[in-house]
Amino acid sequence: MNENLDPLEREAAKEYATWFKALADATRIQIVSLLARRHEPMTVGEIVSAVGIGQSTVSHHLKILSEVRFVLVERRGTASLYRINEDCVSCFPTAADVVMGNPAPVTPTCD
């Protein structure tokens, strides 16, 4: 049993809240899953084709995911390519453990 009964520090709680909020949408979960499984950058058009929703909606969700650094954007000429941020996404399960009071194997950082 975890003996630490103190709440999570406020700044850490705010950071984790942004992560959970970013993943609190089924379309964003689909996009993260798609990019994580593809293991290569994708254009918005490729993501639109894969998830079957409109370009403006996909772009909106990609903006939210990039703000919390789950998704990284690469500019190649006039094209924007999106890829999963492996470091950040791998921190998410640790964040869930920390929030629930379980011991964390490492201190999560998302850069």
What is residue 4's predicted lDDT score, i.e. its pLDDT?
A: 63
Considering the domain boundaries, does residue 20 fall inside one? yes
What is residue 51's predicted lDDT score, i.e. its pLDDT?
A: 95
What is residue 1's predicted lDDT score, i.e. its pLDDT?
A: 47
Considering the domain boundaries, does residue 110 fall inside one? no
Considering the domain boundaries, does residue 34 fall inside one? yes
Considering the domain boundaries, does residue 105 fall inside one? no
Considering the domain boundaries, does residue 4 fall inside one? no
Q: Higher pLDDT residue, 94 or 104?
A: 94
Tell me how far CA of residue 89 lies from CA of 2, 5, 45, 52, in angstroms: 25, 27, 23, 23
What is residue 83's predicted lDDT score, i.e. its pLDDT?
A: 96
In the chain, what is the straight-line distance between the N-terminal and C-terminal CA atoms, in Å? Answer: 31
| CA 62 from centroid of its chain's CA atoms | 10
Considering the domain boundaries, does residue 90 fall inside one? yes
Cα–Cα dist 28/59, whole Å: 11
User: What confidence tens digit (pLDDT) does each residue in 2-48 have?
Assistant: 556 778 788 888 888 888 899 899 999 999 999 999 999 999 999 99
Taking residue 4's Cβ as centre, other Cβ atoms within 10 Å add up to 8
**How many domains does the chain contain in total?**
1
- The position carrying tokens 């470091």 is 87
Considering the domain boundaries, does residue 111 fall inside one? no
Considering the domain boundaries, does residue 3 fall inside one? no
Region 79-102 average pLDDT: 78
> Of 74, 80, 61, 73, whose CA–CA distance to 23 is shortest?
61
Region 61-79 average pLDDT: 93
CATH number at residue 44: 1.10.10.10
Q: Domain of 80?
A: 10-99
